[in-house]
Amino acid sequence: MRRTTLAAVALVCGITCVGGVASAGTAFAAPDPSPTATAPAVPGTPGDPAAQPPEGEQATPGALEEVRKEIEKLYHRASVATDAYNAAEEKAERQSKEVARLGRAITTGQDRLDLLRHRAGATAREQYRSGGIPQGAQFLLTDDPRLFLDNANRFQRGQHAAKGLMAELRTTQEKLEKDRAAASARWKKLETHRKAEAKAKKEIKKQISAAEKLESRLAAEERERLRKLEEAAQRRAQSAWVDSGILDAISGKASAAGEKALEYAGEQIGKPYAWGAEGPGSYDCSGLTSQAWAAAGVPIPRTSQEQWRQLERVPIREMRPGDLIIYHDDASHVGMYVGDGTIVHAPRPGRDITLAGAGTMTILGVVRPDA
């Protein structure tokens, strides 16, 4: 029932997006860390006080459009930093687990080494007490032929056991040293990823704060005009995409796993975007897609850039509901194709998970989690 409802809403959205109604909010997610340039000042923004309109006057349409572009740019930078944060967090988690595993291996190895050293010491003490001749070797001095043969066999087994003990002692010692070296290296990597995580977190807050500050400087009426400018830009992009005739060629049907992923994603509609979030109360764009496919029993990479890099790519004309559409040249956003030219996605800070036209952003390509 939920899938049917989602499909019906998607059909309505697909029609209205072409006709003129697009979902509010541009969407972004994030790739690997990249240098962030200083945002240029634009007319009518806090970065360019001289260009702002006199007090009491509203910004001109041209200036407001520049503000819209600047806000979009800031949120895009935040999304890039978000993906960097997600990637660093994922790597830090893996390193932390590996450090814990090595720690357990070192403890076990040290206990084994101590036991082997104790046994080797006992053997050495026995040889010392017997004047350097092992007790087994002393038995060989008997005149009884049968006892001699029995003792010879026992002595041979003892020698074999002693050699095995020393070999295991050396092997355990070598493995312990390797584990300690590996643990040290993992600790260094863990610290590196934690620093990258902290740096990305700082960058996210910086860019989001700048965007929110820029938007807060606008009067209520101007903010409404700004929202309409966003919607108009999306309508133009969606109309151009649909007018290309691409929808006429897309007729694929969702797989069983794709249906489950779509059902999960549809149930999250209305929940807020939050950077680094993977549910259940909020999501970022790749957090939504990765959790939706996880719910379908198909684990996929956490970030949009890794989803683009690792998952199988399919031509846009061959995409089917459940496939992931990757956006922008830097693979900084991802949405799940619902059908009828529509996606479900987590847009950006300040926006909720929603349905939107699949062509409202620049499409980089399509990937299929369950190829």
Residues carrying an active site annotation: 285, 333, 345
Asked if 90 contacts 193 with a C-beta cutoff of 8 angstroms, the reply is no
CB neighbour list of residue 78: distance below 8 Å, 6 or more residues apart: 28, 203, 204, 207, 208, 211, 275, 348, 349
Query: Using CB atoms within 10 A of its CB, is residue 229 exposed (0-12), middle (13-18) or buried (19+)?
Result: middle
CB neighbour list of residue 170: distance below 8 Å, 6 or more residues apart: none
> Which of 201-211 are b and which e, b meaning 16 or more Cβ less than 10 Å from the residue's Cβ?
bebbeebbebb
DSSP for 277-318? -BSSS-B-HHHHHHHHHHHTT----SSHHHHHHHSEEE-GGG
Tell me the three state secondary structure of residue 144: coil
* Residue type at 286 in one-letter notation: S
* Residue type at 62 in one-letter notation: G
Q: Pairing relation of β-strands 312-314 and 363-368?
A: antiparallel
Asked if 223 contacts 350 with a C-beta cutoff of 8 angstroms, the reply is no
> How many helices and strands (H and E) does the chain possess?
8, 6
